[in-house]
């Protein structure tokens, strides 16, 4: 009887230890489920961020191309402005010097005369250096 009690007590201890292990395993299973849900959420966020990166990359490329095109346009406009400025200075110089090859002659009411600080008798001087 005494040995039977000891065996029962040992079995009860084993059962008690196994119940503790089962409770710990259940807690771990719950944590595992929560972590798996978090993993799914993070994976979805990761996919969303990758999609945003791809979209931003496309937009960045488009903006870079547009920027390059605009810089090219500005450069062409600058060159055209310089060319027109040189042509304008050349024509003004021809007008002021009375170049016989120039088909245009200055009149006293010309804006070149009116813009002069010396008065109508002397035309305004224009710089011929390129800008």
Does the pLDDT value for residue 114 go beyond 70? no
Whole-number Å distance between alpha carbons of 98 and 83:
22
Per-residue confidence at 116, pLDDT binned at 50, 70, 90? Answer: very low
Q: What is the pLDDT of residue 118?
A: 45
108: tokens are 């006293």
Are 106 and 112 spatial neighbours (Cβ–Cβ below 8 Å)? yes
Whole-number Å distance between alpha carbons of 116 and 41:
77
Q: What is the pLDDT of residue 111?
A: 57
Per-residue confidence at 5, pLDDT binned at 50, 70, 90? Answer: very high
Cα 107 to Cα 30, 52, 116, distances in angstroms: 99, 67, 13
Q: What is the pLDDT of residue 108?
A: 52
Average pLDDT over residues 85-107: 81
Q: What is the pLDDT of residue 98?
A: 83
Tens of pLDDT along 17-71? 999 999 999 999 999 999 999 999 999 999 999 999 999 999 999 999 999 999 9
Q: What is the pLDDT of residue 23?
A: 98
Are 123 and 96 spatial neighbours (Cβ–Cβ below 8 Å)? yes
With a pLDDT cut of 90, the percent of the chain lying above it is: 71
Are 126 and 119 spatial neighbours (Cβ–Cβ below 8 Å)? no
């Amino acid at each position: 009887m005494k040995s039977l009690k000891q065996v029962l007590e040992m079995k009860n201890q084993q059962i008690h230890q196994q119940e503790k292990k089962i409770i710990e395993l259940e807690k771990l299973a719950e944590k595992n489920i929560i972590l798996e849900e978090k993993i799914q959420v993070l994976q979805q966020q990761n996919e969303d961020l990758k999609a945003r990166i791809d979209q931003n990359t496309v937009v960045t490329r488009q903006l870079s191309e547009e920027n390059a095109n605009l810089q090219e346009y500005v450069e062409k406009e600058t060159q055209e402005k310089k060319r027109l400025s040189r042509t304008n200075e050349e024509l003004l110089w021809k007008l002021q010097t009375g170049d016989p090859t120039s088909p245009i002659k200055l009149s006293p009411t010309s804006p070149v005369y009116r813009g002069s600080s010396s008065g109508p008798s002397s035309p305004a001087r224009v710089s011929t250096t390129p800008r």
